[in-house]
Amino acid sequence: MKTKKVAIVGASGYSGEELVKLLLSHPHAELVAVTSRQNAGQTLAQVFPKFASHPKSKSLRFVEPSAALLAQQAEVVFLALPHGVAAEFAVPLLAAGCAVIDLSADFRLKSAAIYKDFYGHDHPAPELLPKAVYGLPEVYREEIRESLLIASPGCYPTSILLPTIPLLKAGLIQPRGIIADSLSGVTGAGRKAEIDYLFCECNESVRPYGVPKHRHLSEIEEQLGFAAGTPVVIQFTPHLIPVNRGILSTLYLTPAQPLASAAEAAAFAEKISACYAAAYAQEPFVRLLEGKALPDTKNVVGTNVCEIAWRVDPRAGRLIVMSAEDNLVKGASGQAVQSLNLIAGWPETAGLI
């Protein structure tokens, strides 16, 4: 299979590090460049001792990020940068003919106005928004294959959209009143030297944050709106939990029709199961849980899998859906590699577990 040269811009954060790991062991991708302002000049082995056993770790050195240089070296460039900065790199890379897989929020929204509302500044390259494809392969597989600009979804959005989109598309739930309660490991905050994320501030601590208007709401609502065919406004509460990795989302959904009896509740449960099976039974990275099993982040950490389970609650008349994923893999770098596989025409599961 034809290999492709790939590069990572911003490779010293947690998502960047996970990309390095996935791409070093990828059967078809060749990692040719990694950038990092603070680590420029150092080898992969020096910055990440855990990769020191890889043959490339002592020859591959971090360089200062330069779009011109990267465009000469790589065919596909991953951007693991803060929002705002990512767009600045994307523009020249795309112009030079590279494919860009952006892990930031810069190209996830179709609306530059909503971007400004949630991110607080004008969009740096609004002309590119129509060209970008939202990199959720289970929903936009064919579009990703044809695109040169992939906006890889956020970690929370992935855990919320995968369980919700098929139900909205099938009209099984109401588009109003959706609540997403999410719990995230601390890598979600990035490798930032801030007091709030010190070991002793997070360990033995559980806390909500960003209530009630977290930035990820914008892309979640936009995507849910596409699925529902009508604007969707949801309630979203993220919490910080003392684990390194993993997101657990609990979704509170309202059936399209009230469940007036036990029989109706049972029939509704059947429809949900059928809907999920139709959407995901053949998906390599969505695992529908059976029987009494409920999602557990420890069963997905280190993999590109999103686990989903659901329960109808006839007492309260609601559907509860629970999902688990690794925020750095299916929620970030693994999903980005899944898009790479699609772009490159490789098996979609190449280099992923």
Which DSSP string corresponds to 95-146?
HTT-EEEE-SSTTT-S-HHHHHHHHSS--S-GGGGGG-EE--HHHHHHHHHT
- 277 near a copy of itself, rule: CB under 8 A: no
Closest CA to 111 of 93, 134, 82: 134
Separation between Cα atoms, residue 61 and residue 40, nearest integer Å: 7
User: Rounded to the nearest whole angstrom, what is the least distance from the CB of residue 244 to a copy of itself in the complex?
Assistant: 5
Residue 155 annotated in active site? yes
User: Could you tell me the smallest distance in angstroms from the CB atom of residue 317 to a copy of itself?
Assistant: 8
Which positions from 125 to 164 touch a copy of itself by CB under 8 A, shown as an x/- string?
Answer: ----------------------------------------
Residue placing its CB nearer to a copy of itself in the complex, 66 or 244: 244
For the chain, the farthest-separated pair of C-alpha atoms sits apart, in whole angstroms, at: 67
Q: Nearest Cα to 149, choosing from 107, 194, 212?
A: 107
**Among the residue ranges 67-75, 134-142, 164-172, 195-203, the one whose residues contact a copy of itself (CB under 8 A):** 195-203
Site for a copy of itself in 39-98 (CB under 8 A): 49-50, 52-53
# of chain residues touching a copy of itself (CB under 8 A): 74
Q: Least CB distance from residue 71 to a copy of itself, whole Å? A: 31
Give the span between the Cα atoms of 271 and 210, in whole angstroms: 35
CA distance 114 to 106: 11
Query: Using CB under 8 A, which of the segments 142-150, 155-163, 184-192, 334-342 binds a copy of itself?
Result: 184-192
37 binds a copy of itself (CB under 8 A): no
User: Hey, how many other C-beta atoms are within 10 angstroms of the C-beta on 330?
Assistant: 28
Q: Which residues in 286-315 contact a copy of itself (CB under 8 A)?
A: 287, 289, 293-303, 305, 307, 311-313, 315
Instruction: Tell me which H or E stretch contains 71.
Output: helix 67-73
Looking at residues 219 to 258 of the shown chain, list those that interact with a copy of itself (rule: CB under 8 A). 233-235, 237, 239, 241-246, 248, 250, 252
Question: Would you say 95 or 231 has its CB closer to a copy of itself?
Answer: 231
Catalytic option among 98, 155, 202, 306: 155
Residue range at the interface with a copy of itself (CB under 8 A); choices 81-89, 143-151, 198-206, 336-344: 198-206
- For residue 291, is it left (φ>0), alpha (ψ between -120 and 50) or beta? left
- Sheet with 62-63: list strands edge to edge: 62-63, 29-35, 4-9, 76-79, 99-102, 149-151, 133-134
Catalytic residues: 155
